[in-house]
Amino acid sequence: MAETDEFDRYYNGLLYSVMRWDQLTAFWEKVDVDAGWYLYAVGQNVPDEPSSADKVQQFTREMDALLRREHHEDYCAIVYADDLDAPNFIKIYDPNHLGSSCGSSSMKSSVLPGWVMSQTPPRELEMLGVVTGQRKRWWQTFLGSSA
């Protein structure tokens, strides 16, 4: 229960946005791939154990490519972390399912991230919508591939 409380503290706590694409490039370099990251695709099974350093490195590389390819803006602003210099918790919003994640909408809290990277074991986040087949295939391909 304490781990769930810690996850919720991070999930609901103050997070800082990676605003620009050049900041995202620098941010990925600050992620300690050996730190024991749980990689969670919201709407899929919650991971039981942290991913290997190679898998974390592969995830950040592939996630960077996906975000740059599918977020058709000249800014990033869909990656958030507890600490931009030494992150322990990262929320990554799906560029194809942003809804009202930005701004001051009353719906803001209902938009879930597409992915969570956490050094604390995650709990299941309830999806209100449907995870698209494309995202499920991307995640299954990622999980099935070796780093």
pLDDT along the chain (147 residues), means of 10: 85 95 96 98 93 97 93 87 98 80 49 94 80 67 64
Q: Are 36 and 121 in contact (CB under 8 A)?
A: no
- Which range marks the domain in which residue 116 is found? 2-144
Domain count, the chain: 1
* Tokens encoding 42: 């919201």
What is residue 99's three-state secondary structure?
coil
Indicate the pairing of strand 115-118 with strand 16-17.
unpaired
DSSP category for residue 145: S
pLDDT at 105: 44
pLDDT at 101: 44
* Tokens encoding 113: 């991230």
Separation CA 7–CA 98 (nearest Å): 22
Place of tokens 């769930």: 4
Q: Which helix (H) or strand (E) holds 68?
A: helix 53-70
Separation CA 33–CA 113 (nearest Å): 21
pTM for this entry:
0.82
* Other residues' Cβ atoms within 10 Å of the Cβ of residue 104: 6
pLDDT at 145: 63
pLDDT at 104: 45
